[in-house]
Structure 1
Amino acid sequence: MSQLGGPGARQANAKPIPPQRGSFPLDHDGECKHVIANYLECIKKVRGVNDAQCRDLAKSYLACRMDRNLMAKDDFKNLGFGNDPMANNKAAEGKTEDKETRPGELRW
Structure 2
Amino acid sequence: MSFGRPPNVESSPGKPPLKGSFPLDHDGECKTFMKDYVKCLRENKNNNGLCRQFSEAYLKCRMENGLMDEEDTRNLGFADLHGEKSHQT
TM-score by length of 2: 0.77
Unaligned runs of 5+ in 1: 89-108
1:68 to 1:7, Cα distance in 2 relative to 1, 3 A: closer
Count residues with an aligned counterpart: 83
| 1:4 shift after superposition | 4.1
Q: Distance in 2 between matches of 1:56 and 1:6?
A: 41
1:37 to 1:9, Cα distance in 2 relative to 1, 3 A: farther
The runs of at least 4 consecutive aligned structure 1 residues that moved more than 6 Å come to: none
| 1:42 shift after superposition | 0.5
1:9 to 1:82, Cα distance in 2 relative to 1, 3 A: farther
Q: Quick one: higher RCO (CA 8 Å, sep 6+), 1 or 2?
A: 1
Q: Distance in 2 between matches of 1:61 and 1:40?
A: 11
* Structure 1 equivalent of residue 27 of structure 2: 29
Unaligned runs of 5+ in 2: none
RMSD between superposed Cα atoms in Å: 2.5
**Structure with max Cα Rg:** 1
Tell me the percent identity. 38
